[in-house]
Chain A
Amino acid sequence: MKKVLPCEEPTIRTYLGDAFCFSIINKYAFSTGWIYDKYIYLQYTPEDEHIKYCDYDYYDFVQGEGVFIKSYTQIPIEKCNSIKICGIIEDMINDDEYFFALFDESIVVNYLTGSNNSDVFEHGCFVYGYDSEEKIFFSEGYVEDEQWKKYEIPYDVFYNALSYYPEKGEIAFIGYQLKRDYDWKFDYRRMYRSLLGYLNYNDNSNMNLNAESKFFEQMLISKEIHYPSAYCLLEHKQLMKKRILFLVANKFLNEREAQINLMEEIEKGYEKILMLVIKYNVSYNKKILHKLSVLGYEMITKEYNYLTGITKCIKKNISSIDMEG
């Protein structure tokens, strides 16, 4: 038997947890505008020096939104075997439940690339389908060359990767099932409030534009720059551009107000930042670091000015929409 659940190319994919979830909901999230009142806040976490989306965490994905039915299962390791665990995963897929867990990614990379790395690399995994005759699971992730790819893993390889840490005493996994009657909608008031929150960077917190400032500050003293954080910043601006286009399409802004060319300039600036981060992490050239810092602050200011203008226009238009309503 073969069953493969819908799995799209995720638009939000800096971090695995988000990426897996967006593989399930991407179509609904973007076509309905649902995404545009979310994923606005950013957060800098000094303990790991990372930039991430605020409020939307892997295990509590879009907490309180009720997008998914979630399940959690633990099975004692001494009661586990490949047949049993793979059978449970098949049952989950049959029930339209996507499978999430932690596994040893090295085992899967070794299988896919023929390499022989014996170091354990604990990472998230995702299964969206199976073929019980071929004995393979359908999965995806950044397992090769930092590229987002779909791939197939034989049952036995997958089970070995899943049971990488017997000392834990159990194999534990999570299931996400899309809530069928979920009301996908866009809340423009929430979006407006979130944009105002995002622009408020005089409070010295680790949030939003402050988060970006702190990330660029930290760059000057860190040895290696966290690449996914730089990617997260770019993704955030790409999403912001899509948001502006959505607002134009839905008449919350007109084209003149949107000044999409300015947003594209900001997006390009963050593309350049990402390229410089890659170059710096290879060369550790101090000149690149200086360029990065200057460009980073320039982009923060640009984004602040641009979004301040946008929020003013939205406020004016929202009032007129409410009057019409």
Chain B
Amino acid sequence: MKIRVPKIMSDEKISISEMIIDDELYNSGWIFSFYSVLEKRNNSELDFKENKFFWQYGVFLKRYFEVPIHNWSKDVDGFLSKYLEKDYYVILYSNCSIENSSNEHCVLFYDSKRTKHKNVYSCCKWENYKVSYFDGGINDIRKEFIDVKFIDLTQARFDLLRTGKEEFDYNSLDISILKSDLNKRHRIGFLDLLFSFFSNIFVVEKNLVILKEWFEIFLLRKKYLSIIIEGSNNYESKFRTIFASNLNLRLKLIKLLLLYKKLLKQLERCLENEESFTM
């Protein structure tokens, strides 16, 4: 099955949605109704607002599976080949702890081919905010691609996602979703800025990656909405300049967060008057 290169790679679930969502929803810009605002988690990490698999919009049929494992290779091989043949994208989860924060990691299986001796799977995983790809049999994948120590060898957890045109009835960017997200929470206050400054350097680096992704999505959204946001060009160019600068990372993050707030405010103002743009 085909996949596309995602714009967001800092969040695995959002990446997957972007990679596999139906062309019509991607090319019409519908998907950019989402990811408009960032939230701050307790550990000061920024995060795109929870709209991970769009199952609630009927875009994907999403199913969650728990598979008891007696023989890892055999059981996982059997499960993957069965559901990939039925046009499901299959996500295998693992739990691991990185940099003192508990994270859930996954591998996306998006294709399989039966060769003479084995099933060969196409899969990908996320590392350092990048997607890496691998093709191989289940034992090659386990040996060379998955860090088995993070995998539960007694019970595997899978999400299965299937797209289908009959599942949805959207064909353009959904302003109501965008407006409601903008109204809800995009306020990053003084304390948040302070926390950003004193955050762990790993968190600062991750937040910079997320802000950059958010900015790219912001530009795409603007393009799909065909709108001119008053004064935004100035902020956008500042955003690019600061991002490319050699500033101290913490300082850079604070400056970018201030610009993020300003850009969102401009977008919100622009959407208040719906007649000022065309869809």
Chain A residues engaging chain B, CB cutoff 8 angstroms: 65-76, 78-79, 84, 88, 95, 170, 179, 181-183
- The complex places the Cα of A67 from the Cα of B65 at a distance, in Å, of 14
Asked if A71 and B57 make an inter-chain contact with CB atoms under 8 angstroms apart, the answer reads no
Known: A74-B55, A78-B58, A79-B58. A66 touches B70 (CB 8 A): yes
Asked if B62 and A76 make an inter-chain contact with CB atoms under 8 angstroms apart, the answer reads no
Residue of B nearest to A94 (CB): B86
Residue of A nearest to B66 (CB): A70
- The complex places the Cα of A99 from the Cα of B103 at a distance, in Å, of 32
Residue of A nearest to B83 (CB): A95
Asked if A183 and B65 make an inter-chain contact with CB atoms under 8 angstroms apart, the answer reads no
Asked if B67 and A69 make an inter-chain contact with CB atoms under 8 angstroms apart, the answer reads yes
Residue of A nearest to B71 (CB): A181
Known: A66-B154, A79-B167. A73 touches B68 (CB 8 A): no
Asked if A66 and B65 make an inter-chain contact with CB atoms under 8 angstroms apart, the answer reads no
Residues in chain A near residue B82, CB distance under 8 A: 95
B155 at the interface (CB under 8 A from A): yes
Chain B residues engaging chain A, CB cutoff 8 angstroms: 55-58, 61-71, 74, 79, 82, 154-155, 166-168
Asked if B65 and A76 make an inter-chain contact with CB atoms under 8 angstroms apart, the answer reads no
A253 to chain B, nearest CB (A): 31
Residue of B nearest to A68 (CB): B68
Asked if A179 and B65 make an inter-chain contact with CB atoms under 8 angstroms apart, the answer reads no
Asked if A69 and B55 make an inter-chain contact with CB atoms under 8 angstroms apart, the answer reads no
- The complex places the Cα of A67 from the Cα of B68 at a distance, in Å, of 8
A-B contact pairs, 23 of them (CB 8 A): A66-B68, A66-B69, A66-B70, A68-B68, A69-B65, A69-B67, A70-B65, A71-B63, A71-B64, A71-B65, A72-B63, A72-B64, A72-B65, A73-B62, A73-B64, A75-B61, A76-B55, A84-B166, A95-B82, A170-B56, A179-B70, A181-B70, A183-B70
- The complex places the Cα of A73 from the Cα of B58 at a distance, in Å, of 12
- The complex places the Cα of A79 from the Cα of B69 at a distance, in Å, of 34
A-B contacts besides A71-B64, A78-B58, 8 pairs, CB < 8 Å: A66-B70, A66-B154, A66-B155, A71-B63, A72-B65, A74-B55, A76-B55, A84-B166
- The complex places the Cα of A88 from the Cα of B82 at a distance, in Å, of 16
B27 to chain A, nearest CB (A): 22
Residues in chain A near residue B63, CB distance under 8 A: 71-73
- The complex places the Cα of A67 from the Cα of B64 at a distance, in Å, of 17
Residues in chain B near residue A73, CB distance under 8 A: 61-64
Residues in chain A near residue B166, CB distance under 8 A: 84
Residues in chain A near residue B57, CB distance under 8 A: 76
- The complex places the Cα of A182 from the Cα of B69 at a distance, in Å, of 10
A97 to chain B, nearest CB (A): 10
Asked if A76 and B66 make an inter-chain contact with CB atoms under 8 angstroms apart, the answer reads no
Kindly list the 6 A-B residue pairs having the minimum CB-CB distance in the complex, ordered from nearest: A66-B68, A79-B58, A72-B64, A73-B63, A70-B66, A71-B65
A95 to chain B, nearest CB (A): 8
Residues in chain B near residue A70, CB distance under 8 A: 65-66
Residue of A nearest to B164 (CB): A84
Residues in chain A near residue B168, CB distance under 8 A: 79
B167 to chain A, nearest CB (A): 7
Known: A74-B55, A79-B58. A69 touches B70 (CB 8 A): no
Asked if B56 and A76 make an inter-chain contact with CB atoms under 8 angstroms apart, the answer reads yes
- The complex places the Cα of A235 from the Cα of B104 at a distance, in Å, of 43
Residue of A nearest to B160 (CB): A71
Residues in chain B near residue A72, CB distance under 8 A: 63-65
